[in-house]
Amino acid sequence: MSRLLPRAIRESGHEFTFLTRDLHHYLRSAPEGTAHPLLGARNVITADTNDTETLLPRVERLHSVLGFDGVITSCDYYLPVVARTAARLGLPGPAPEAVENACRKDATRRVLADAGVPGPRFAVHEEWAELARSAGEIGYPLVVKPVDLCAGMYVRRVDDEEQLAAAVKALAGFPVNARGQRRAPVVLLEELLDGPEVSVETVSHAGAVHVIGVTDKSVGGAPAFIETGHMFPAALSSADTEAAERTALGALEALGLTDGVVAHTEIKLTSAGPRVVEVNPRPAGNRITELVRHVTGIDLAAAFVDVCLGRAPDLRRTDTGLRSAAVGFLVPGTTGTLEALDGGRVRTAPDVLEVQLAEPGRQVKAAGSNNEYLGHVMAGDPAGTGARARVEALLDEVRSGLVIR
């Protein structure tokens, strides 16, 4: 999304000012072979985006000169400060409290529970004695989560108290996130839910929430929960699709995310019915927005820009010629140096939409979250919901040429 969003702003006829505390963080990750997204910025300004109380009056002064019409981010860690900034400047956007509650997994759990929206049994504690006691009450196996990280970082299944202690210790050893923000020290314990996981993609504007569709998810890397692939639309029965959509709408309403939000709500279709996993008040990552665009013609990045400007988004569907699109990720299982990874034949295979693979020489770490991918393959199916099977076959071919030493 950090690449799709500048493109959507530019193609919509707008300009943007980029505000960051660490410009080098973005320059280090410049995409090869294409112009850097930040080259499209009208202004690039350095400020301490982690110090909200200092930042807000600075942005007010900038606003008096530059005249902003909206505030937007694609980074989970800055969604709350963006909501507060928009409110301070009197610009469109969701209520800051709603965004803050969605971005804190423990707050989300409490709000949804109070509203009667179904989710797992859970507990939130900081001290070990309370964590161990609550784990016994919920019952093993269960899931350990940080309340304020993303991309599946440090989310682990634990089967006993020894594994719980190891997971809590590992999380305590990561006190500052990737943007230099100090983390909350509390730990979220959740009942391990059965059934497949899907996500509901929605766009909210002027109090109306529009469902774009439901995406499926495959997960691997146990005891971690690493997203290994997605397909849009999910191959579900109409009853399961409606149940997932209804549950997501209930969660968004309970949190107050019904205006100025493109949301990605994760749902488990358990044997006892749908259960909310997370509510993310921003467009989906992992190329899901591109799956949606390839199938429906709806550009969720452009819709995100529109609603952040207080404008009605263009959600008209077009016939793209595809009935489904899927993406699969190459997840490393070992640590070492990438010596070979060849996707040459896959790039020219029928129905392939994207192939992105890491270059040899890269240092590789066995995946523990969604941050360690070695690349992805995306393909479509013009006839039905066969895109996932097509992608899995293509990934098998890529894996046959993968060498890590």
For 111-162, the pLDDT digits (tens) are: 999 999 999 999 999 999 999 999 999 999 999 999 999 999 999 999 999 9
Q: Across the beta sheet with 363-364, what order do the strands follow?
A: 363-364, 336-340, 403-404
In a domain, 186, yes or no: yes
Contact 205, 312 (CB under 8 A): yes
Q: Across the beta sheet with 197-205, what order do the strands follow?
A: 273-280, 261-270, 197-205, 208-220, 226-232, 324-329, 375-381, 352-357
The answer on 36 and 70 residing in a single domain is: yes
pLDDT in tens, 66-79: 999 999 998 999 99
The answer on 389 and 337 residing in a single domain is: yes
In a domain, 9, yes or no: yes
The answer on 59 and 15 residing in a single domain is: yes
The answer on 125 and 96 residing in a single domain is: no
pLDDT in tens, 154-182: 999 999 999 999 999 999 999 999 899 99
The answer on 145 and 67 residing in a single domain is: no
Of 51, 66, 100, the residue at which a domain comes to its end is: 100
Q: What is the mean pLDDT of residues 191-214?
A: 97
In a domain, 282, yes or no: no
**Count of structural domains within the chain:** 3
> Is residue 32 scored above 70 in pLDDT?
no
Contact 159, 165 (CB under 8 A): no
The answer on 125 and 176 residing in a single domain is: yes
The tokens for 330 are 């190459």
For the chain, the first-to-last Cα distance in angstroms comes to 32
The rounded distance, in Å, linking the Cα atoms of 241 and 291 is 17
Q: Is the dihedral of CA 60, 62, 65, 70 positive or negative?
A: negative
> Is residue 33 scored above 70 in pLDDT?
no
Q: What is the mean pLDDT of residues 4-22?
A: 94
Cα R_g (the chain), whole angstroms: 21
Task: Write out the chain in H/E/C secondary structure.
Answer: CCCHHHHHHHHCCCCCEEEECCHHHHHCCCCCCCCCHHHHCCEEEECCCCCHHHHHHHHHHHHHHHCCCCCCCCCHHHHHHHHHHHHHHCCCCCCHHHHHHHHCHHHHHHHHHHHCCCCCCEEEECCHHHHHHHHHHHCCCEEEEECCCCCCCCCEEECCHHHHHHHHHHHHCCCECCCCCECCCCEEEEECCCCCEEEEEEEEECCEEEEEEEEEEEEECCCECEEEEEEECCCCCHHHHHHHHHHHHHHHHHHCCCCCEEEEEEEEEECCEEEEEEEECCCCCCCHHHHHHHHHCCCHHHHHHHHHCCCCCCCCCCCCCCCEEEEEECCCCCCEEEEECCCHHHHCCCCEEEEEECCCCCEECCCCCCCCCCEEEEEEECCCCCHHHHHHHHHHHHHCCCEEC
Of 191, 211, 237, the residue at which a domain comes to its end is: 191
Contact 318, 296 (CB under 8 A): yes
pLDDT in tens, 276-328: 999 999 999 999 999 999 999 999 999 999 999 999 999 999 999 999 999 99
Q: What is the pLDDT of residue 31?
A: 63
Q: What is the pLDDT of residue 140?
A: 98
In a domain, 255, yes or no: no
In a domain, 370, yes or no: yes
Reference 6, options 28, 45, 36; nearest CA is: 36
The answer on 90 and 9 residing in a single domain is: yes
In a domain, 214, yes or no: no
> Is residue 30 scored above 70 in pLDDT?
no
Q: What is the pLDDT of residue 275?
A: 98
Report the CATH number that the domain containing residue 396 is assigned in CATH: 3.90.1170
pLDDT in tens, 35-84: 788 888 999 999 999 999 999 999 999 999 999 999 999 899 999 999 99
Share of the chain above pLDDT 90, in %: 93
- Which residues form the domain of 162? 121-191
Of 68, 100, 132, the residue at which a domain comes to its end is: 100
Report the CATH number that the domain containing residue 163 is assigned in CATH: 3.30.1490.20
In a domain, 143, yes or no: yes
In a domain, 294, yes or no: no
Report the CATH number that the domain containing residue 51 is assigned in CATH: 3.40.50.20
Q: What is the mean pLDDT of residues 207-212?
A: 97
